[in-house]
Amino acid sequence: MQDAAAVMAGPEELETARDGRRGADVSAWADAGHDDAIAEAARRDPSAFRVLYERHWPSVYRYLRSRTATDDDAADLAATTFERALAGVRGYRPGPSGFRAWLLRIARNAAIDASRRRRATTPIEATAGIVLAESGPEARVLDAERSRELQALIAALPDAQRDAVVLRYAAGLNAREIGSVIGKSEAATQKLLTRALARLKESYRDHR
User: Which domains are delineated in the chain?
Assistant: 1-121 (1.10.1740.10), 123-208 (1.10.10.10)
Mean local confidence (pLDDT), 66-92:
93
Give the Cα separation of 137 and 149 in Å (integer): 17
Tell whether the model's pLDDT for residue 41 goes beyond 60.
yes
How sure is the predictor about 11, in pLDDT bands with cuts at 50, 70 and 90?
very low
Report the mean per-residue pLDDT for the chain: 77
Mean local confidence (pLDDT), 126-151:
53
Top pLDDT among 205 and 135 is at: 205
Question: What is the pTM assigned to this prediction?
Answer: 0.68
